[in-house]
Amino acid sequence: MSSSVEAITVLSSDGDEFKITVSAAKLSKPLNWMLEDVCFSDDCDEVPTIEVNSKTLVKVIEYCEKHAPRANSGASDSDAEELKKWDIEFMKMDVKDILFHILMAANYLHMEGLYDLACQTAADLMKGMTVSQIRKIFHIKNDFSSEEQEQLRRQHPGCSFD
């Protein structure tokens, strides 16, 4: 890899091209390995594909670009504070639709910071939900038989299957 390269191009699973700076790509271990293995110089026409859809990849790259300067250089406490506020705002942005996709992507790309943030956001969203709301977002069908539900209600008065 030529050291003059500052940004690389990757393909999403939908086949769209995205640019990501080298320093931002280093936040992900698999991307980092790619940087070392794959030729990214101008005369190489191979563009690696990342198994993440376009909508999610935009968010992941946005996160990487924001966090890269701090991850590479270390930062003051005020920067860390600012970054925390940014994370909260970042997770607010229409994230309900794509939160699970971000979770999968962060897991697949080994991005610990984003993975933790997404898990915590999911937990914060879920904690006030009812059982049927949880089933809906996880695509789960109630598999307790009516006898089992009755038995559990006897053991734990107040428990709800809805």
Distance CA 91, CA 118 (A): 8
30: its two tokens: 């698999």
CB of 91 to other proteins, least distance (A): 14
Residue 9 vs 120, nearer CB to other proteins: 120
Q: How far is the CB of 132 from other proteins (least distance, A)?
A: 9
Q: Which is nearer to other proteins, 85 or 127 (CB)?
A: 127
Shorter beta-carbon distance to other proteins: residue 6 or 123: 123
* Shortest spacing between CB 104 and other proteins, in angstroms: 6
The residue with tokens 């936040």 is 27
- Cα separation, 3 vs 24, whole angstroms: 15
Who contacts 98 (Cβ-Cβ below 8 Å, separation ≥6)?
55, 56, 59
Q: What is the torsional sign of CA 83, 109, 10, 59?
A: negative
Instruction: Report the residue number, 44 or 93, with the smaller CB distance to other proteins.
Output: 93
Q: CA-to-CA distance for 53 and 124, rounded, in angstroms? A: 25
Binding footprint of other proteins on the chain (CB under 8 A):
96-97, 99-101, 103-104, 107, 115, 119-120, 122-123, 125-131, 133-140, 142-144, 148-149, 152, 156, 159-161
Residue 71 vs 119, nearer CB to other proteins: 119
CB of 18 vs other proteins, minimal distance in Å = 20
Give me the count of residues in the chain.
162
For the bound state, the minimum distance from the C-beta of residue 68 to other proteins, rounded and expressed in Å, comes to 24
Cα 126 to Cα 72, 101, 140, distances in angstroms: 33, 16, 15
